Structure 1
Amino acid sequence: MKWGLRILAVLIVGLFLHYTLPQRDIVRVVDTGNRITQIGANWIFYSIEDTGTGAETSTTRDIRFIDAVFEDDSTVMVYRNEDTGWFWPPYFKWDSSTLQAEATNLRSTRDAPKWVAITHYGWRIPLLSAFPNAVKITPVEGPDVTLIPWVNILLLTFIAFLVVMARRMWLQFRERMVDPTLADVGETFDAVGDRAEAARKEARGFFGRIGAWMNTWRAKK
C-alpha cells in the first residue's frame, strides 16, 4: 500500500509537470486562423474565460489556432493561441495577437519550407478537443537543429533540490521530535501495563486470601 501510494503520487506529479512545463516542437507552419470553439467538460484544457480570448458566451469562444507539420510531412499538430494572463500556468502571456501575426508571417510550403520552434505547454487530446497552447515561435535553421531545454533543466533541478531538502528536514524533525515522543509514549504504555498487571496480581492475592479464610470457616462447620 505504501509503495502504491508513492508510485501514484510520483505519477500525478510527473503528469502535472509534463503538462505544465514548456516544450518545443520544430515544425513548419502551414496555416493560421480563428475558429469558434465549444468549451464544455474540457474547460480545464483552456484558459480562463475572458483572458484575452474574445469569449462570446460561457461555452463558445473565438480562439486563434496555428496549424503545423513536422519534418516527415505526415505528422501534424494544431496549437491553440490563447493568453494565460495572471492565471495558471504562470506564463503571463498577453500577446496572442502578436504571436498569431508572427506565425502567419512564417507560413511556408513543402517546396520552400521555413522551420520554426514553437514553445508550448499542454497536450493534444483529440477525444477531448484539447490543444497545446503556443506561447512563443522562433525561426530555426532546419528541422534537425538541437534545442537544449535549459528552463526545464533548471526548474527540475530546483524541484529536486527542494524535495531533497524537505526530506532531510523531515528526517531531522522525526529524529529529534517524533521518535523521542513515540519512545516516551511507548514507555508510558509499558509502565501503565506493568502497574495494571501488578494490580491484577495484588487483587488476585487479596481475593485468594479471602477465599482461603472463608474455606476455613466452612471446614469448621
Structure 2
Amino acid sequence: MRYVKWGLITLAVLLVGSFLHYTLPQHDIVRIVGANTQRMDLGENAWFFAAPDAGTAVSTGGNRDVKFIETIRQNGRPMVYRNEDTSWGWPPYFKVNSFDIQAQAADLTSTEAAPRWVVITHYGWRNQLFTIFPNAVRLRAVESPDVTIIPWFNIFFFVFWGFILLLMRRMWLQFRERTIDPALEDVGDAWDVVDARADAAGARARGTWGRFTGWLGTWRGKPRR
C-alpha cells in the first residue's frame, strides 16, 4: 500500500505541475520574422486552442482562421505562437486584443542582420506532433536578448498559494487539536470503561464458575452410602 500511496501522490504532483506549467505565464526573448493568419481545421487538438476572437461568429466544424506569430529564438531555433483571444474563458487572461497584438508583431518584424528583440509573454506548449502552439498574450520590445525577466506574477502566485496552504494547515491542526483529538480521547476513555467493565464481568463469571466447580469437587470426595 505504501507504493500505491506514493504512486498516487506522484501522479497528483505531475498533473498539478503540468496544469500550472501550461497555464501560468512564461516569457521568451525572440526575434519576430513574420505575422500571418491561416485557416485551421481543428480536430483532437482543439482543446489546445482558444475560442474564436471576441465578438466574431462562432465557427462550426472546427474550421476557422487563427493568427500566428513566427519568431526565431536566440539560439537560432524557430518558435511559432498563436495569437487568440481568451475573452472570459480559461485561462483567465481576459485577452481581447489579438488584432492589436498582431499589428504590433508585424511592426516589430526584423531581420537577422538588424534584429529587434521582443519579450513574448505566453502560456501553453508547442508540440509539433499534435500541432499545438503557445498563445501569445503580450509583446514588449527590449534592447538586447540579455535582459533579465523577473516573473513577478508567478512569484506572487506561488507565495500567495503557499500562504493559503500554510494557513489551511494551521487551521486544520487547530481544528484537530480542539475537536478531533478530544473526541478521540473521549472515545478512548469510553472504550477503557467498556473494557474495564468487560474485565470485571469476566472476573465475576470466573469467580462464579470457580465456586461452582469447587462445589462439584466437594461432591467427588464424599463416599457413597
**TM-score w.r.t. length of structure 2:** 0.84
Q: What pairs up with 1:1-221 in 2 under 5 angstroms?
A: 1=2, 4-47=7-50, 49-52=51-54, 55-73=58-76, 75-210=77-212, 213=215
Task: For 1:83 and 1:14, locate their aligned partners in 2 and report how far apart those are by CA, in whole Å.
Answer: 24
Aligned partner of residue 93 in structure 2, secondary structure: coil
| Deviating more after overlay: 195-204 vs 147-156 | 195-204
Task: For 2:41 and 2:196, locate their aligned partners in 1 and report how far apart those are by CA, in whole Å.
Answer: 71
Task: For 1:177 and 1:216, locate their aligned partners in 2 and report how far apart those are by CA, in whole Å.
Answer: 58
Aligned partner of residue 127 in structure 1, secondary structure: coil
Structure 1: runs of 5 or more not aligned: none
CA deviation map 1:161-192 (0-9, x unaligned) = 11221111111221111211112212222222
Task: For 2:24 and 2:64, locate their aligned partners in 1 and report how far apart those are by CA, in whole Å.
Answer: 25
Task: For 1:54 and 1:32, locate their aligned partners in 2 and report how far apart those are by CA, in whole Å.
Answer: 23
* Residue 55 of structure 1: how far off its partner (Å): 4.9
Q: Which amino acid aligns with 2:106?
A: T
Aligned partner of residue 80 in structure 2, secondary structure: strand
Task: For 1:199 and 1:58, locate their aligned partners in 2 and report how far apart those are by CA, in whole Å.
Answer: 79
CA separation of 1:55/1:69 partners in 2, compared to 1, >3 Å: closer, same or farther?
Answer: farther
Task: For 2:196 and 2:84, locate their aligned partners in 1 and report how far apart those are by CA, in whole Å.
Answer: 70
* Residue 41 of structure 1: how far off its partner (Å): 2.9
2:52–2:85: 8 Å Cα contact kept in structure 1?
A: no
Aligned partner of residue 160 in structure 2, secondary structure: helix
Task: For 1:180 and 1:6, locate their aligned partners in 2 and report how far apart those are by CA, in whole Å.
Answer: 30
CA separation of 1:151/1:82 partners in 2, compared to 1, >3 Å: closer, same or farther?
Answer: same
1:80–1:132: 8 Å Cα contact kept in structure 2?
A: yes
1:54–1:61: 8 Å Cα contact kept in structure 2?
A: no
* Residue 85 of structure 1: how far off its partner (Å): 0.9
2:53–2:85: 8 Å Cα contact kept in structure 1?
A: yes
Task: For 1:67 and 1:55, locate their aligned partners in 2 and report how far apart those are by CA, in whole Å.
Answer: 26
CA deviation map 1:97-153 (0-9, x unaligned) = 111111112111111211111000111122222211100011111111112212222
Aligned-pair identity (%): 53
Q: Which amino acid aligns with 2:127?
A: I
Task: For 1:154 and 1:10, locate their aligned partners in 2 and report how far apart those are by CA, in whole Å.
Answer: 20
1:27–1:143: 8 Å Cα contact kept in structure 2?
A: yes
Aligned partner of residue 31 in structure 1, secondary structure: strand
Q: Which amino acid aligns with 2:14?
A: L
Q: Which amino acid aligns with 2:49?
A: Y
Structure index of larger Rg: 2
What root-mean-square deviation, in Å, do the aligned CA atoms of Structure 1 and Structure 2 show?
2.4
CA separation of 1:201/1:39 partners in 2, compared to 1, >3 Å: closer, same or farther?
Answer: farther
